[in-house]
Every structure is written in structure tokens, then in C-alpha cells.
Chains A and B, each alone.
Chain A
Amino acid sequence: SQELEQSPQSLIVQEGKNLTINCTSSKTLYGLYWYKQKYGEGLIFLMMLQKGGEEKSHEKITAKLDEKKQQSSLHITASQPSHAGIYLCGADMMRGGADGLTFGKGTHLIIQP
């Protein structure tokens, strides 16, 4: 079974609309990392969350980690074509955070003009 579940698997959104991607775990997350991947390219780091209830923003992207540290959401406001790509959440599943990350399967985001 997948330790990190991402939803939705794919998302088609009209340009200018808001959207939310979710990442859920049955275990406590000791660090939650959001990455963006363009097709055929590597992963680009977006944001890291560690504390329960933490929220971070960069430009039009906001990420939150719930108080229980088992769920994170990524929210994009007023989407643009440049937001299209695959969004992946990765997590430290062990306290100490020195290990490799466990990743969700990703959310494919398409922005329609």
C-alpha cells in the first residue's frame, strides 16, 4: 500500500481558477516536502513543512501541514499556464529526517487557457 496518498491523481483547471492538491499519510510526518516536476525533467523543490499547523507561501502557492502532521495541502491561487506540471509530496517518515524521502505518486496539473 502507498504510504503517501496524493489526490487528485490529475487535475484540469481553467486558467485563473484556484486549486488544491492533498497529500495524506497514516503515519506522522516528520518533514513534508513539495516538489514540482515538468515533463521529462527533474524535481524542483517548492516548500518544506515540519511543524503541525505550519503554513508557507511562495508567490501564488501556499502549503499547509495539519496539526496532527499527517496531511498536507498545496493551494494555487489564480492558476497560470506556468503552474502546469506534476506536483509531488515527499515525506520524512522517521524522526531525525536524515533518510531518503517517501513520495506520493504525484498530481498531474493541466491549465486550460
Chain B
Amino acid sequence: DAGVIQSPRHEVTEMGQEVTLRCKPISGHNSLFWYRQTMMRGLELLIYFNNNVPIDDSGMPEDRFSAKMPNASFSTLKIQPSEPRDSAVYFCASSLQSSGRPGLAKNIQYFGAGTRLSVL
């Protein structure tokens, strides 16, 4: 089975350029998450979607960041304009939200291999 697929795996760009990261979630999953990982701050949630609808984007650092999910099998994270401090590894994860006991929904997230972004 194909897992979460991210592209590109590596991206090197110059400050001020637009960067687009792509993600294909696991087929059948209804939730998609974008995270950013840095040495200083660890793994942080940027935004997540449920049934293609953005639910919480409070982790998006600035207006330069935007994310879309036009359909259940594709999402993008765009940075425009990019800055050196955006350099990090960006992960996409997907999950199938299901409820076990009331109030104890399962939330096992499966991660892609990540995109390592370097902004010069």
C-alpha cells in the first residue's frame, strides 16, 4: 500500500521565491496535517484539514504561508515569499478519524518522508 507521498523531497530556493510543497494522503483517510520540524522548536503543527476543510490554521506562522486541499487526494503548502528562517523539514500526515468509546476518538497519523526546504 502506498503511504503518504510528499514532493519534492528536497527543495533549495532563494529568499523571496515562491515555494510549493505537495502531499498525497493515504487513500480513504479523511484528515490531513502539515507539520514543520526544526532543531530549535521540534515538530510543530501548522494546519490540519478534515474532509478537505481547514479546521485549525493557528499554527501557520505568517500570511506568507497558505495551504489548500482541493480534493481528498491532494494538498499543497505554499510559502510566498520564502525567507531563510523558513528552512526546515515539512511533513504531511494523514489519518482516518474514527470514534471508539465516546470522547476517545482514534487519531493515528501516518507521516510522509518530508520535504527538506533550504532557503538561501
Verify if A113 is at the interface (C-beta below 8 Å from B).
no
Given A103-B43, A106-B42, A97:B107 Cβ within 8 A = yes
B114 and A98: CB pair below 8 A? no
Chain B CB within 10 A, most for which of A35, A42, A88: A42
Verify if B2 is at the interface (C-beta below 8 Å from A).
no
- For the complex, give the distance between the alpha carbons of A96 and B42 in Å: 24
B103 and A96: CB pair below 8 A? yes
Chain A CB within 10 A, most for which of B35, B55, B103, B105: B105
Q: What residue of chain B has the Cβ atom nearest to residue A48's Cβ?
A: B108
A100 and B42: CB pair below 8 A? no
Given A30-B104, A31-B104, A42-B91, A98:B97 Cβ within 8 A = yes
Q: What residue of chain B has the Cβ atom nearest to residue A106's Cβ?
A: B42
Verify if B113 is at the interface (C-beta below 8 Å from A).
yes
Given A42-B91, A43-B91, A95:B103 Cβ within 8 A = yes
B48: which A residues are within 8 A, CB to CB?
99-100
The contact size tier of chain B is 20 to 34
Looking at the complex, which one of A2, A42, A104, A106 makes contact with B111 (CB distance below 8 Å)?
Answer: A42
Question: Knowing that A35-B111, A90-B43, A99-B107 are A-B contacts, what are 15 other residue pairs whose CB atoms are under 8 Å apart, sorted by A's residue number?
Answer: A2-B42, A30-B104, A31-B106, A33-B108, A40-B116, A41-B114, A42-B91, A43-B93, A43-B111, A48-B108, A50-B104, A101-B109, A103-B35, A103-B44, A106-B43
List chain B positions with a Cβ less than 8 A from chain A.
4, 31, 33, 35, 42-45, 48, 50, 55-56, 59, 91, 93, 97, 100, 103-114, 116
List chain A positions with a Cβ less than 8 A from chain B.
2, 30-31, 33, 35, 40-45, 48, 50, 88, 90, 92, 95-106
Pairs across A and B, CB under 8 Å, 29 listed: A30-B103, A31-B104, A31-B107, A40-B116, A41-B113, A42-B111, A42-B112, A42-B113, A43-B93, A44-B111, A45-B109, A48-B108, A50-B100, A90-B43, A90-B109, A95-B103, A97-B105, A97-B107, A98-B105, A99-B56, A99-B107, A100-B33, A100-B35, A100-B48, A101-B33, A101-B45, A101-B109, A103-B42, A106-B43
